[in-house]
Structure 1
Amino acid sequence: MADDPPLVLDIDGTLTRPDRWGIDPRVFDPIREWDAPIVLATGKAFPYPVALCHFVGIPELVVAENGGVVYTGDDVFVNADREAAQAVVDAYEAAGHSLGWGPEDTVNRWRETEIAVEISQPEQPLREIAVEYGLEVVDTGYAFHVKDPSVSKGDGVRTVADAVGIDLEEAVAVGDSENDVSTFAVVGRSFAVANADAAAKEAADVVLEDAHADGTLSVLERVRGDA
């Protein structure tokens, strides 16, 4: 039997439960047993995917903060500066808005290159202020991410692939959001789970019938041994 293909997996909306919060534990064993490199590519702050790699028991190959921070297992690449994003949210808060996470804000506490705003907060003023600072806002369905437009998950995946020798033409990606479009563009096959947004569905090679972790598990079963 051929080896399993390399995987590039988003986290929120892709490895999570249908109620949107919490990793579906059914993904742990298939991921740990996968016979090829797995890159976790997420909008989450850097410590989160690193911790998930630890808990699952796989090598730490991570693209975090939508490409802002990349870890190849040996080297950490910080590809943007948080200062501009901080200026955007300072102006947003000065205009009377909130980031929406409460005073401790563990969502942003460890971010190095971008800042996330809770999804129920006003979007249009955030986008307008971001443009003034030369930044963009990416809607992941879980948060609005204020980020440098010059970095992306796809670029981060290329960095990891070059460092560890992943053939991206053989790689399979699963995602659910517009921030996964750049990932889909650099791999051989891409799958959008059924709960994906319009941008991800348009960019994917296949739109799955199953949502959230059910969709991802169906991909793992479908492509196992295909490399």
Structure 2
Amino acid sequence: MQPLAVDIDGTLTDDDRALDPRVVEPLREWPAPVVVATGKALPYPVGLCEFLGIPIRVIAENGGAVYLADDDELEFHGDREAAQAVVERYEAAGHELGWGEVDFVNRWRETEVAVSVDQPLQPLRDIAASEGMHVFDTGYAYHVTAPDVDKSRGLRSVARRLGYDPADFAAVGDSENDAGMFELAGTAYAVANADATARTAADGVTEGSFADGFLEAVERIRGGS
């Protein structure tokens, strides 16, 4: 069975971003390594693995942070200071990050900065481009990150450290931040709610959306289709 790299929001969740309980058993019983690959800050996928009862193998912050329990090594890629400079200019232009007074979204984020999708995107993209940075629109947040950091970089690291080729992996996700991982993995499925970039990069698109799509994808991966 292929090792599995899977996104969280929009893939393991329902449309209210609540974890769908039906995903627990497939992830626990998957006979090869499972890697949680997300744009969330590192504590979130680590906590998810612990509550699922699976080994902690995570790609966080869109590839900016990678941890594997197998070798107990934590690595970081990216430029948090450059990302912070972008959002400071964004705020100086009269915009906000949009998370309220207590910002749990960025509190533990070490390689990038996230802005709420309630805020205007184009000024953020323009400022980021002028600073040599990139913005991922995941549908849940705008992530200001270094241009050489994405989930494909995280997958390369994970594969090397686990003794696999990246093409050995199957990947499931829903957003443009999954596209690089999709192109690197041997098998990639976008769930039906995925954006156009993810759908184009994937080998297949499920009929089901959100966790329904994930469950469909893992059945197709098990069947080798």
Q: Scaled by the length of structure 1, what TM-score is found?
A: 0.95
Q: 1:195 to 1:201 in 2, by over 3 A?
A: same
What's the CA shift for 1:209?
0.7
Does the 8 Å CA contact 2:188/2:204 hold for their aligned counterparts?
yes
What is residue 145 of structure 1 aligned with on the other side?
143
SS in 1 for 2:100: coil
SS in 2 for 1:179: helix
One-letter identity of the residue aligned with 2:64: G
* 1:55-134 map, 5 Å: 55-73=51-69, 74-134=72-132
Unpaired stretches in structure 1, ≥5 consecutive residues = none
What is residue 162 of structure 1 aligned with on the other side?
160
Query: Bigger CA drift: 73-82 or 217-226?
Result: 217-226
SS in 2 for 1:107: helix
Query: Structure 1 vs Structure 2: percent identity of aligned residues?
Result: 59
Instruction: Find 2:38's aligned residue among 34, 39, 42.
Output: 42
What is residue 2 of structure 2 aligned with on the other side?
5
SS in 1 for 2:105: coil
Give me the whole-angstrom Cα distance separating, in 1, the residues matched to 2:167 and 2:113. 32
What's the CA shift for 1:225?
6.3
One-letter identity of the residue aligned with 2:211: A
| Deviation digits for residues 110-135 of structure 1 (CA, Å, limit 9, x no counterpart) | 00010110001011111111112110
Q: Scaled by the length of structure 2, what TM-score is found?
A: 0.96
SS in 2 for 1:62: strand
Does the 8 Å CA contact 1:37/1:166 hold for their aligned counterparts?
no
What's the CA shift for 1:185?
1.3
Give me the whole-angstrom Cα distance separating, in 2, the residues matched to 1:226 and 1:209. 17
Report the number of matched residues. Answer: 223
What is residue 170 of structure 2 aligned with on the other side?
172
What is residue 22 of structure 2 aligned with on the other side?
26
Give me the whole-angstrom Cα distance separating, in 2, the residues matched to 1:90 and 1:7. 37
What's the CA shift for 1:197?
0.3
What is residue 195 of structure 1 aligned with on the other side?
193
Moved over 3 A (4+): none
Note the aligned Cα RMSD (angstroms): 1.3
Instruction: Report 1 or 2 for greater relative contact order, CA contacts < 8 Å, sequence distance ≥ 6.
Output: 1
Give me the whole-angstrom Cα distance separating, in 2, the residues matched to 1:163 and 1:26. 29
